[in-house]
């Protein structure tokens, strides 16, 4: 329970401030615990990044399992893609701080590269590109991540993929 809370807090702060702008001490302060208590669970920031990435991989694997179902109609597929994009947005620092992720944990960087390559292999090419570009755009633009913004972006891709 404590580890999950630490990972969730770190992920939120990395998304808000950027990976290189958040220290273990700041995460501990945010949680009202000592730095020593935090480093008992995660010795360094790279360990936190690795733990957060494992959560992301779990979501990605569930998504791919659902995607592989051949019984999904267009509406179900669209809803699945929206849900996945929304979930991935909560891990957007991986896309924003791509280079820094590798500096923190090279193994995690390699796995992130593999995740994006796997999308191109597993998904329809347009959807794979869209997911990767959507995350980058939503993470780096001045748009607020709202349901309306999500709908606008998905409307654009629906027109390309489903026509």
pLDDT tens profile 28-77: 999 999 999 999 999 999 999 999 999 999 998 898 888 887 788 878 88
Q: In whole angstroms, what is the distance from residue 71 CA to residue 94 CA?
A: 32
Give the pLDDT confidence of 134-149 residue by residue, as tens digits: 776 766 666 566 667 7
Angle, alpha carbons 114-150-74 (nearest 5°): 75
Closest to 119 measured CA to CA, from 80, 72, 61: 61
pTM of the predicted model as reported, rounded to 2 decimal places: 0.80
Q: Is residue 142 part of a domain?
A: yes
Print the domain residue range for 60: 45-161
Give the total number of structural domains in the chain. Answer: 1
């Amino acid at each position: 329970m404590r580890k999950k809370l630490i990972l969730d807090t770190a992920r939120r702060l990395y998304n808000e401030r950027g990976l290189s702008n958040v220290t273990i001490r700041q995460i501990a302060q945010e949680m009202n615990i000592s730095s020593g208590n935090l480093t008992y669970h995660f010795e360094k920031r790279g360990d936190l990044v690795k733990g957060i990435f494992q959560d992301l991989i779990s979501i990605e694997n569930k998504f791919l399992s659902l995607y592989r179902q051949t019984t999904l109609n267009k509406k179900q597929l669209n809803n699945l893609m929206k849900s996945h994009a929304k979930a991935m947005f909560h891990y957007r620092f991986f896309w924003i701080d791509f280079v820094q992720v590798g500096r923190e944990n090279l193994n995690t960087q390699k796995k992130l590269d593999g995740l994006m390559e796997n999308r191109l292999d597993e998904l329809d090419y347009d959807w794979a590109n869209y997911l990767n570009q959507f995350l980058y755009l939503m993470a780096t633009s001045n748009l607020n991540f709202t349901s309306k913004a999500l709908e606008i972006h998905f409307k654009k891709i629906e027109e390309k993929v489903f026509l």
